[in-house]
Chains A and B, each alone.
Chain A
Amino acid sequence: MSTLKVNTLEEATSGGATFFTAKAWLNFNGTGTVAILADGNVSSLTDRGTGVYTASLTTNTSTSNQTVSGSAIGAANVSYNASGVGRDSNVTKATSNFGMYVAKNNGSSAGPEFDSADVSVVVMA
């Protein structure tokens, strides 16, 4: 395996935009015995209770000001048939990990946290 090391990736066209790459990504099943389905740069996932998790990174980011974005398959519930992934404010921001919660959503407001069978998260920093 070879490794390509560069500081900046830019479009070839004049004045092209800089490409930003994800620092980590994670897909997991939060039901039953929680299991990581696929990941990049994740060393572990901690199940902290219903719908709340912390993912730890193999290689820390340089800053704790990460952007964390995610999605989750919703619950079979008439009132809350959508879902969302949020950054958990109960977990202090850190370069080594990030906390997240998975909540039901009815399109206008967040419902209770729940265990989704398919949660995906990506981290930029």
Chain B
Amino acid sequence: MSNYRVIFEDPEQPEQPAMVLVPSDNWLEEAKAGLLPPISVYWALQDDEQQAIAEGRHDTFEHDPAKHEAQWTAPRIGPLTEEEAIEYLVMKDIPRHIWSQEYNRPMFKIVKTEDVPSDRSFRNAWRIAA
């Protein structure tokens, strides 16, 4: 099991509580084994879909086949450490505006798993500590 979790908030949804990203162990094994494509492959897919949303054709949207197949055909990036894999996961699974822009306080933190509260009382009031 991963030693890390990523806690983040979405500045575009201020009422939303802090969210906690849990890495998949299977995915982490793939990352450590060097089986991941460059992160740009996923960003190209995100851009492809965002364009469809902007053009009002998302209901019938299908990815450009070449961009979709790049998930398998792109050269692999090589083995990552667990820390590098978590950074990759932030850029893959957390919305881009959260980690690519500067805000007046941190919007995400990579923490040790044991630092995440196991008591879920008041879960919907969680915020990232200053």
Asked whether A47 lies within 8 Å of B19 as measured between CB atoms, the reply is yes
Stretch of A15-23, A38-46, A69-77 contacting B (4+ beta carbons < 8 Å): A38-46
Residue of B63, B72, B93, B120 touching A50 (CB-CB under 8 A): B120
Stretch of B41-49, B75-83, B99-107 contacting A (4+ beta carbons < 8 Å): B41-49
Q: Does A120 contact B (CB under 8 A)?
A: no
Q: Does A94 contact B (CB under 8 A)?
A: yes
Please measure, in the bound complex, the distance between the C-alpha atom of A94 and the C-alpha atom of B126, giving whole angstroms.
Answer: 26
Asked whether B19 lies within 8 Å of A32 as measured between CB atoms, the reply is no
Asked whether A32 lies within 8 Å of B120 as measured between CB atoms, the reply is yes
Q: Does B123 contact A (CB under 8 A)?
A: yes
Q: Count the B residues whose beta carbon is within 8 Å of the partner chain — how many?
A: 39
Asked whether B22 lies within 8 Å of A43 as measured between CB atoms, the reply is no
Interface residues on A, range: 20 to 34
Asked whether B61 lies within 8 Å of A64 as measured between CB atoms, the reply is yes
Asked whether A36 lies within 8 Å of B92 as measured between CB atoms, the reply is no
If the complex has contacts A42-B24, A58-B30, are A31 and B120 also in contact, measured as CB distance less than 8 A?
yes
Residue of B1, B46, B61 touching A63 (CB-CB under 8 A): B61
Q: Does B62 contact A (CB under 8 A)?
A: yes
Cβ contacts B110-130/A at 8 Å (1 or 0 each): 000100111010011010000
Please measure, in the bound complex, the distance between the C-alpha atom of A44 and the C-alpha atom of B88, giving whole angstroms.
Answer: 12
For A60, give the chain B residue with the smallest CB separation. Answer: B45
Asked whether B25 lies within 8 Å of A36 as measured between CB atoms, the reply is yes
Which residues of B are found within 8 Å of A46, using beta-carbon distances?
A: 19-22, 93
Q: Which of A8-54 contact B (CB under 8 A)?
A: 28, 31-36, 39-40, 42-50
Q: Does B68 contact A (CB under 8 A)?
A: yes
* B residues adjacent to A (C-beta < 8 A): 1, 5, 16-17, 19-27, 30, 42, 45-46, 49, 53, 58-59, 61-63, 65, 68, 71-72, 89, 92-93, 113, 116-118, 120, 123-124, 126
24 A-B pairs (CB sep. < 8 Å):
A33-B5, A33-B113, A33-B117, A34-B22, A36-B24, A40-B26, A43-B92, A44-B89, A44-B93, A46-B93, A47-B19, A47-B22, A48-B16, A48-B19, A49-B16, A56-B93, A58-B24, A60-B68, A64-B61, A92-B53, A93-B58, A96-B46, A96-B93, A115-B120
* A residues adjacent to B (C-beta < 8 A): 28, 31-36, 39-40, 42-50, 56, 58-60, 62-65, 92-97, 115
